[in-house]
């Protein structure tokens, strides 16, 4: 009897302490994901899915806070001290900037996760008015006189840089790598641009809400969302036969996760993007999944020929210097256009 009682007390106590220790291990944790504009809906769903997965796996409750904005603006906030555990940005250049200017991330960050640290990809596509009245099918239709093109400002928007490079790459392919011809093509294109919004979302609003422009160049995911979500009866999606492979990249912010002791959960968070469920959620929100099994299920992504940034521009550092830095080709094009206007 006595022994039995003692034993039960012992069992109870062990259980109690085990419980306590497991509660300690499962202390709720909050991580911050600093991302760019069009990923709001994606991460809203993914965060809930990951929190559920993490709770089931470890018993720990995790809350993921989100911050969205223009990709470079967000990178700058992290550089200036916004304590992001993970960044999920529009282009590798912005993560490079965090690594370079603030040394929060090691320079080899892009090798730490599979596939250039880009769990999902996208490309650049067009949205046109219903019935495609201007008959836009490919990039060279954008430079025709009388076609009004909406694209954001490459100086402030991540996608606008992808747009610019996609058009430039297209022109290089057409002209057999003639840089001067490519620049002329870009000048013709920007001659048709009536508004340069500061971000991807602003450009979509200009096109959809304010009814400006014949064609919107934007992320494929924004275009598909716009074509299906915002007004199936008002717009048509046009995917050009060739475009650029856009790789939005993700990274841990090492200095922050080490300081806050959140490395394990942050690492698991990004890894989960590559999991079956993570890929499903990406695909659902119109990001092209990497996992072949998931990709096979989603036929909504049109087939097209994709060229890479590396093919024509080397890397982001080089592309940025040649095209978007002060005095780069974008500035030159606008100087030329304003001279023509006079």
Partner 1 sequence: MRFVLKQPSVLPGFGLTLGCALFYFSLIVLIPLSGLFMKTSTLSWEQFWDIVVNPRAIASYQLTFGASLVGALINGIFGAVIAWVLVRYRFPGRSLVDALVDLPFALPTAVAGITLTAIYASNGWIGRYLEPLGIKVAFTPLGVLVALTFIGLPFVVRTVQPVLQDLDQEVEEAATTLGANRWQTFRTVIVPELWPALLTGMAMAFARAVGEYGSVIFIAGNMPLKSEITPLLIMTKLEQYDYSGATALGIVMLVASFVLALAINLLQWWSSARHMHQ
Partner 2 sequence: MNTSIIAAGKDLQWKDSLTTESSLVRRLLIAAAFLYLTLFLFVPLVAIFSEALKHGLSGYIESFFNEDALAAIRLTLLVAAVAVPLNAVFGVAAAWAIAKFEFVGKQALITLIDMPLAVSPVIAGLIYVLLFGAQGWLGTWLAEHDIKIIFALPGIVLATIFVTVPFVARELIPLMQSQGREEEEAAITLGASGWQMFRRVTLPNIKWSLLYGVILCNARAMGEFGAVSVVSGHIRGLTNTMPLHVEILYNEYNAVSAFAVASLLTLLAIVTLSAKVLIERKTASPDRLKSRR
- What contacts 207, CB < 8 A, 6 or more positions away? 127, 150, 213, 216, 226
Query: What does 47 bind: partner 1, partner 2, none (CB cut-off 5 to 8 Å by kind)?
Result: none
Out of 49, 51, 147, 212, the residue judged to bind partner 1 by CB under 8 A:
212
Q: How many CB atoms lie within 10 A of CB 304?
A: 13
Q: Mask 188-227, x = binds partner 2 (CB under 8 A)?
A: -----------x-xx-xx--xx------------------
138 vs 124: CA distance, rounded Å: 12
Q: Tell how strand 149-150 and strand 249-252 pair up.
A: unpaired
Query: What does 148 bind: partner 2, partner 1, none (CB cut-off 5 to 8 Å by kind)?
Result: none
167 vs 58: CA distance, rounded Å: 47
Largest CA distance in the chain: 103
Q: Mask 35-64, x = binds partner 2 (CB under 8 A)?
A: --x--xx-----------------------
Q: Which two tokens stand for residue 311?
A: 């093919």
Minimum distance from CB of 74 to partner 1 (Å)?
10
Query: What does 72 bind: partner 2, partner 1, none (CB cut-off 5 to 8 Å by kind)?
Result: partner 1
Name the residue nearer to partner 1 (CB basis): 197 or 247: 197
Query: What does 161 bind: partner 1, partner 2, none (CB cut-off 5 to 8 Å by kind)?
Result: none
Residues in the chain: 342
Minimum distance from CB of 194 to partner 1 (Å)?
6
Q: How many residues make contact with partner 2 (CB under 8 A)?
A: 26
Gyration radius (Cα) of the chain, Å: 24
**CA angle, 301 then 305 then 310, to 5°:** 115
Binding site for partner 2 (CB under 8 A): 32, 37, 40-41, 65-69, 77, 79-83, 101-102, 199, 201-202, 204-205, 208-209, 229-230
């Amino acid at each position: 009897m006595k022994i039995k009682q003692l034993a039960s007390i012992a069992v109870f106590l062990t259980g109690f302490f085990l419980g306590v220790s497991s509660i300690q291990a499962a202390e709720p944790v909050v991580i911050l994901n600093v991302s760019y504009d069009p990923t709001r809906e994606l991460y809203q769903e993914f965060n809930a899915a990951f929190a559920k997965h993490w709770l089931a796996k470890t018993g720990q409750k995790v809350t993921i806070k989100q911050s969205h904005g223009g990709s470079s603006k967000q990178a700058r906030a992290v550089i200036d001290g916004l304590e992001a555990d993970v960044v999920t940005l529009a282009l590798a250049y912005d993560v490079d900037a965090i690594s370079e200017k603030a040394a929060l991330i090691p320079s080899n960050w892009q090798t730490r996760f599979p596939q250039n640290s880009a769990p999902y990809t996208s490309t650049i596509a067009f949205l046109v008015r219903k019935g495609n009245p201007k008959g836009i099918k490919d990039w060279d239709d954008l430079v025709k006189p009388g076609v009004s093109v909406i694209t954001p400002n490459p100086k402030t928007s991540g996608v606008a840089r992808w747009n610019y490079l996609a058009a430039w790459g297209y022109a290089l392919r057409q002209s057999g790598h003639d840089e001067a011809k490519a620049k002329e093509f870009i000048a013709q294109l920007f001659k048709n641009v009536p508004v340069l919004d500061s971000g991807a979302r602003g450009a979509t609003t200009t096109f959809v809400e304010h009814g400006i422009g014949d064609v919107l160049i934007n992320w494929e995911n924004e275009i598909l969302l716009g074509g299906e979500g915002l007004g199936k009866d008002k717009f048509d999606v046009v995917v050009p036969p060739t475009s650029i492979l856009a790789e939005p990249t993700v990274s841990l912010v090492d200095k922050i996760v080490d300081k806050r002791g959140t490395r394990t959960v942050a690492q698991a968070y990004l890894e989960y993007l590559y999991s079956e469920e993570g890929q499903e959620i990406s695909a659902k929100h119109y990001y092209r999944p990497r996992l072949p099994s998931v990709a096979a299920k989603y036929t909504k992504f049109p087939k097209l020929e994709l060229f890479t940034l590396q093919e024509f521009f080397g890397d982001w550092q080089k592309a940025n210097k040649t095209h978007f830095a002060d005095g780069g080709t974008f500035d030159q094009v606008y100087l030329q256009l304003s001279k023509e206007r006079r």
